[in-house]
A and B are shown apart, each in its own frame.
Chain A
Amino acid sequence: MSVSVPDTASKPHKGFRLDLKTAGPLLALILLIILGYSLNPLFLGEGNVTNLLTRSAFIGIIAVGATFVITAGGIDLSVGSMAAFIAGMMIIIMNAAVDSMGASIWTVLLGIGCSLILGIGAGFINGFLTTKGKIEAFIVTLGTMGIYRSLITYFADGGTLSLNSGAREIYRPVYYDSFIGLPYPVWVFIIVAVLGWVLMNRTAFGRYCMAIGSNEQVARYSAIKVDRVRTWTYILQGLCVSLATIIYVPRLGSASSATGVLWELEAIAAVIIGGTMLKGGYGRIGGTVIGALILTAIGNILNLTDIISNYLNGAVQGVIIVAAVYLQRGSFRTGRRAKKPE
């Protein structure tokens, strides 16, 4: 591939600086953990760590998908509404299935299957409209964001859709039960992150994403099927949203118009905190995972202490997010300067 792609692994001689750059988000997370522990030692208690990891799974899984979209120079604002819409449809479908054939494991599998189809379909619509429709991703996904949010409100009659209690009992363990000490949502998060990492760093698809994000024209001249790769990033995003929804629904067994509000911004924030560039061209899945953990940890720490006035929670979050990105950009800049000659 003739396209220039930043590749940390191939430049071992700049070890320390590059390490700092890679480690920026990790450093921020470690500082945050120390802060959390010093404010309240319970922060590292077993129960709290499990809660934190499980909670970060939703945003984390969605953010892994968003890493591909953003790396390829796109943006998806519809993920929060999409999650609410898919959750609502899953509940409606499962409730209908319970009415017609009773609650069984098949009801839940049916719901999960529908969720996957809806997620992939919704992702394809976003991708198709952006590439073939030649509409800016911001506008397409702003549009679909409004559409999905209205649809869930409409189907819920403005209220809340609740899963039939029989199906709920069967489905509940997916969120609440554990395998070797870790709850299932955390496992899903780990698997998605590992697959995402391989796809981004070890396959042609990942390199195409970075190439398109850094220079679309050059990528086109290099015979990369830009539209197809772009569309695939949105489909991946849709798939990730559907996976997140599958583990979200058993938590409260309900969906309403208030579900998933602002998830899109949290996911994008996790991606950027993790070191991916918002303008595209460079993506880091590992960083995204850490970004999601940082975001979740901030909220958790604020709940575990009462030193800070409740009214200032948003301000603390803002300061930490900006500081985390600064930490990582500060070293990123030196990394880039070192690479200029290339």
Chain B
Amino acid sequence: MSMKALTLALAATTALAGAAVAQDQIRIGVSIPAATHGWAGGLNWHAQEAEKRLEAAHDNIDITLVTADSPGDQASDIEDLISVQQIHALVVLPFESDPLVEPVRQAKESGAFITVVDRGLPDTSIQDVYVAGNNTELGSVSAEYFLTRLGDGDNIVILRGIPTVIDTERFDAFMAGIEGSGINVLDDEFANWNRDDGFEVMQDFLSRFPDIDGVWAQDDDIAMGVVEAVRQAGREDEMFIVGGAGMKDVIKGIMDGDTLIPVDVLYPPAMIATAMDVTVANFTSNGPVQGEYILGAPLVTQENAEQFYFPDSPF
């Protein structure tokens, strides 16, 4: 009998202690798209790294990372984070902006701190923090580099991504950047942010245009395909290629002084880590964090490449 009482008492104490710990815990939910292409793979890796690092650094931070295959999936994920995990903060990189407004609003109404990453929501009043890369700057920084290498009468070709706002912002900014320089854009075609398409489109550009001085691929996956096509044609010495994003193979090549892809323009999947850091800072720092954080799209050159090199990342 007394034994039973003792067990009961012990159980009660444990439960109480557990509750106390749970109250101190700050639960943060992170919802991102699944790793269906290179950039998203990098996103997932950096999110996992940040989770490990932040949980090791702060005893009271508990991060739950969920990945979604579609906007609908992601909406369900966020509902689960609110009702099951009862999160104090949500870091979300929306699959698509519009369908996720309501799920994120629900999270906000449950009292959670909201950090939106990369793809902004149309209703900005929901978010406390917004962290994003800068597609317009990616286009204009690339254009500035082309201006340093080429001039009046030089020919370039452009390989675009998938017809979306992201692609249009990059393309328009680039075209505005080279306007009036006399650089001649021979043609632009969509290569769908895909290596195989990059290879094939570039093969066709190469058989069509005998004189190409530069290639703007605006994405590292496309650029990798372009490199193979140029090598096949034996025209490596004729032109240079500029991609974008910061894939490790490309960064490594730049560190080693590759002349075919001499620079890269950053659009880092690591921005998810920045967003998670800012969110944690909201609970641990004594400074205010609310606001918009627009990351730069710096030019990666041989001099600074090392700081953007993550050999363990899959991207």
Contact = CB atoms under 8 A, between A and B. Distances in A.
Q: Do A and B come from one complex?
A: yes
Interface of A: 40, 42, 45, 47-48, 51, 55, 153, 156-160, 162, 176, 251-252, 254, 256-259, 261, 299-300, 302-304, 306, 310-311, 313
A310 B188 contact: yes
Interface string B241-267: 000000001000000000000000000
A306 B41 contact: no
Contacts of B200: 51, 55, 299-300, 303
A42 B195 contact: no
Nearest to A306: B187
Contact of A304 (B35, B208, B221, B233): B208
Contacts of A251: 196, 199, 228
A313 B160 CA distance: 14
Interface in B143-166: 160, 163
Contact of B163 (A48, A158, A311): A311
B315 A159 contact: yes
Most buried by A among B199, B204, B228, B313: B204
B298 interface: no
Given A159-B35, A258-B194, A311-B163, A252 B207 contact: no
Contacts, number: 102
B207 A48 contact: yes
B201 interface: yes
Given A252-B224, A256-B38, A300-B204, A158 B45 contact: yes
B208 A157 contact: no
Interface of B: 34-38, 40-42, 44-45, 160, 163, 187-190, 193-196, 199-201, 203-208, 221, 224-225, 228, 232-233, 249, 313-315
Contacts of A310: 160, 163, 188-190
A295 B283 CA distance: 57
A153 B36 contact: yes
A159 B313 contact: yes
Contacts of A261: 194
Contact of A159 (B38, B160, B196): B38
Given A176-B232, A252-B224, A158 B203 contact: no
B250 to A, nearest CB: 11
Contacts of B201: 303
A157 B194 CA distance: 17
B204 A156 contact: no
Most buried by B among A51, A159, A257, A303: A159
15 contacts: A51-B203, A157-B35, A158-B34, A158-B38, A158-B42, A158-B314, A160-B221, A160-B314, A176-B232, A252-B199, A252-B224, A252-B228, A258-B38, A310-B160, A310-B163
A42 to B, nearest CB: 6
A42 B209 CA distance: 10
A303 B204 contact: yes
A66 to B, nearest CB: 19
A162 B249 contact: yes
Nearest to A248: B196
Contact of A313 (B190, B194, B224, B313): B190
Most buried by A among B35, B163, B315: B35
Contacts of A45: 207
B205 A303 contact: yes
Contacts of A158: 34-36, 38, 40-42, 44-45, 314-315
Nearest to A51: B203
A311 B34 CA distance: 27
A42 B38 contact: no
Contacts of A306: 187
B41 A156 contact: yes
Contact of B36 (A157, A160, A257): A257
A47 B210 CA distance: 12
Nearest to B191: A303
A105 to B, nearest CB: 22
Given A258-B36, A258-B195, 8 more contacts: A157-B45, A158-B41, A159-B315, A251-B199, A251-B228, A252-B224, A299-B200, A303-B201
Contacts of A160: 38, 41, 195, 221, 314-315
A258 B221 contact: yes
A40 B35 contact: no
A254 B38 CA distance: 12
Given A304-B208, A306-B187, A153 B35 contact: yes
B189 A303 contact: yes
A2 B30 CA distance: 65
A251 B203 CA distance: 12
A311 B171 CA distance: 14
B251 to A, nearest CB: 14
Most buried by A among B38, B41, B207, B224: B207
Which 8 residue pairs spanning A and B have beta carbons closest together?
A: A158-B35, A159-B314, A158-B41, A303-B204, A159-B41, A157-B314, A48-B207, A159-B315
A40 B193 CA distance: 26
Contacts of B194: 258, 261
Contacts of B36: 153, 158, 257-258
Contacts of B204: 48, 51, 300, 303-304
B35 A257 contact: yes
Contact of B224 (A47, A254, A303, A304): A254
Most buried by B among A51, A160, A261: A160
